[in-house]
Copies of this chain bind each other. A is one copy, B any other.
């Protein structure tokens, strides 16, 4: 079943400027699910917010959030609006996130300065990759460290031995995204995925969406 409705999209488009429609389509054409980000038990909202912002900037559509130890809804009101355009997946157990991502064809990539085997410049983006980022202080859980397919490390040349999590995420997304850009890989969203998001983004763009929607479904 398609999760969008071409008629409804056509209807919504009336309420949006040409310029805005063009922007939505341009951004969509640069979105990817070839790379994704998984945040394991991050507590600091400003870090989550910064990572989601980098995802938007580098065209990463999905962000996966594992929250074992607290239950606030974190997919709202973060990232200065960048979260508005992001697709969130939430989990209560790391295991669920790993299993579901594997089913979708992702390699599980532990980002860590410790025991790392692959340096960021050498990282191979041929297959789909889910980058796991861990708690500010303690890093990733043992579960992720045990079940990861690869360990990814950012080169460091100084005394400092770790990155702020938002900086680490930005560096990894920048480098892998630029590689993707220059690869012959088909990293774009499918047409169906793009249309589904386009419908959603049109809805989010229209201020009076509630009444606009009501009118459409009441046959007005």
Contacts and interface: CB of A to CB of B under 8 A. Distances in A.
A155 B167 contact: no
Interface of A: 23, 27, 30-31, 50, 53-59, 80-82, 84-85, 121, 154-160, 163-164, 166-167, 170-171, 174-175, 177-178
A156 to B, nearest CB: 5
Contacts of A166: 164, 166-167
Q: Give me the 8 closest cross-chain CB pairs, A-B, nearest first.
A: A56-B158, A59-B157, A30-B157, A167-B170, A56-B160, A57-B156, A57-B158, A57-B160
A contacts with B: majority SS: helix
A53 to B, nearest CB: 6
A57 B174 contact: no
Nearest to A155: B178
B50 A160 contact: no
A53 B156 CA distance: 11
